[in-house]
Structure 1
């Protein structure tokens, strides 16, 4: 269920940002309801049958840790028919096993939960079973975990709709990852503890930014030492890093809130709208007034209807 709902929520969220981008439908082989491995009943929209493949772009097989790995002739026939129609095929958790059982992973790399890697390798001998959380190999998409399902669908969205939509989805569903993307997040895993503490303090004090003296005092280092740490480990200055944090947060607020521009500026520690506009334009290449504003997205606006085409 977590992988299933993560994949679905990624598509639904993309639709909230770009209405009409995707239509989603849930199928079962018989058309009957199914009980998930968490005991939740899923009511499908219809029966999976070859006649529907003319309109599908993506067909996802959802299978959980406790899904029995048994051949299903009807499912295999449908997957093979979909492949012949050029439909992209995907598998979640151990969904790759059913793609492999249908002979549709030959020559492809795939991801599957560690519990089932040996089983997939046994039935799909011409496939390369990966230890990654997700794999996108041409028109075969597979994910081994909920996080893998999220990234798998994001990559598929990006290929058809571009990086802007992907970034917007990430900003909503994985904001803790996206927030510092512009300030070298890959480096932060290896930074020293004093520098890590300084960054945490900056992030917690955006509306009323700390002075460099305050920052140094709280971290227990001199201002010169803090400056040297930023330069050596992040190749920037504390002032520049702090500004980028505030500017990045201001963009998130502009895109995903209904706050006026002046309120956004104040919330991110800028003393005037003109100073904010100048810094924003220098960083993003356009003024805050030209930023796309998606507004507040309320959970009540979502419609539950899985799997994509």
Structure 2
């Protein structure tokens, strides 16, 4: 776990990775949540690794585009000005009410992009436009359920799945906002490595990332009772619960809870709880201006010295030496 925190990102990169560029093509009534999930993920990546990614938005003719939520976005440019050599990924952003009709200019652009070797993506029903341009033959893909049949009819040689997102070689498709988030994360991971992905998760999906931060090598698949205990621990970091209290809350004996932790997480409940609090303390130190005492109290330690002692024993250096990232 010590090698998986944000402090170690720069240490894990042996060679300077190249800057990557993504272009977002906004269609009428595009899904704003799906678009912003993808965009926020890239922006957060840049907070952790400066200028790792750049983004540009386009509309068909450079006009403002109304999203599915009624908010109007002014794009950076129109399709006619898009220089394919300046991008690594093009993303077609559709939505529930985006009309499924051929767009000759978009078709030509996507086909040219494919010939240039760009990765192509579709959000919500954006995959339909990739399929309509003849670019999904032999690929697995994802699309919102409302448009699954339409894509299957348009791109008969593709495999239309019910998954929230699919990355198949150089085609990336997502059926939902959460799918757009994980699709973008995975694309980032292929370019910049797992450490940056985990750093982004620590910020944007920190609830789920807590399980990984405690034991990053473990593919956690917890049964419902154990997950309930862990969720209780997550919700009670400032005032940690006793093991007997946790067991009572989930209707299990103390011995049963200990057995669940040993069998599924390879540790004791007490150790897991302590590691959860310590790693949450590191997250707060890295991403806030809280004092060490404030962090100690927020994570259920009786004093700053107690927190410092545990922190040093776990990470090998005191909390006063922790990097304050992005501040």
Give TM-score scaled by structure 2 length: 0.79
**1:52-201 paired onto structure 2 within 5 Å:** 52-181=83-212, 182=214, 186-188=220-222, 190-192=223-225, 195-196=226-227, 198-201=229-232
**1:22-37 paired onto structure 2 within 5 Å:** 22-37=53-68
How many correspondences in the alignment?
290
Post-superposition shift, 1:191?
Answer: 3.1
CA separation of 1:217 and 1:149: change in aligned 2, threshold 3 A: closer
Q: Distance in 2 between matches of 1:135 and 1:273?
A: 43
Post-superposition shift, 1:215?
Answer: 4.5
Post-superposition shift, 1:213?
Answer: 4.9
User: Are the aligned partners of 1:50 and 1:78 in contact in 2 as well (CA < 8 Å)?
Assistant: no
Post-superposition shift, 1:104?
Answer: 1.0
Q: Is residue 2:313 matched to residue 1:279?
A: yes
Q: Distance in 2 between matches of 1:56 and 1:134?
A: 22
Post-superposition shift, 1:67?
Answer: 0.9
Q: Distance in 1 between matches of 2:101 and 2:251?
A: 61
Post-superposition shift, 1:179?
Answer: 2.0
Q: Distance in 1 between matches of 2:73 and 2:253?
A: 59
Post-superposition shift, 1:59?
Answer: 0.6
Candidates 252, 259, 284, aligned match of 1:253? 284
Correspondence for 2:7: none
CA separation of 1:292 and 1:127: change in aligned 2, threshold 3 A: farther
Structure of higher RCO (CA pairs closer than 8 Å, 6+ residues apart):
1
User: Are the aligned partners of 2:211 and 2:220 in contact in 1 as well (CA < 8 Å)?
Assistant: no
Per-residue displacement from partner, 1:271-291 (whole Å, max 9, x unpaired)?
42542233322xxx6664564
Post-superposition shift, 1:229?
Answer: 4.0
CA separation of 1:86 and 1:243: change in aligned 2, threshold 3 A: same
Secondary structure of residue in 2 paired with 1:38: coil
User: Are the aligned partners of 1:3 and 1:92 in contact in 2 as well (CA < 8 Å)?
Assistant: yes
Post-superposition shift, 1:62?
Answer: 0.6
Structure 2 stretches lacking a partner, 5+ long: 1-31
Post-superposition shift, 1:133?
Answer: 0.5
User: Are the aligned partners of 1:254 and 1:261 in contact in 2 as well (CA < 8 Å)?
Assistant: yes
Q: Distance in 1 between matches of 2:228 and 2:210?
A: 17
CA separation of 1:145 and 1:196: change in aligned 2, threshold 3 A: closer
Structure 1 stretches lacking a partner, 5+ long: 297-309
Correspondence for 1:209: 240
Q: Distance in 1 between matches of 2:158 and 2:119?
A: 17
Q: Distance in 1 between matches of 2:171 and 2:321?
A: 38
Q: Distance in 2 between matches of 1:233 and 1:275?
A: 28
Q: Is residue 2:28 matched to residue 1:20?
A: no
CA separation of 1:18 and 1:278: change in aligned 2, threshold 3 A: same
Secondary structure of residue in 2 paired with 1:61: strand
Root-mean-square deviation (Å): 2.5
Per-residue displacement from partner, 1:202-225 (whole Å, max 9, x unpaired)?
333323434445555666665444
Per-residue displacement from partner, 1:26-62 (whole Å, max 9, x unpaired)?
1112111122233221211111137511111111001
Correspondence for 1:269: 300
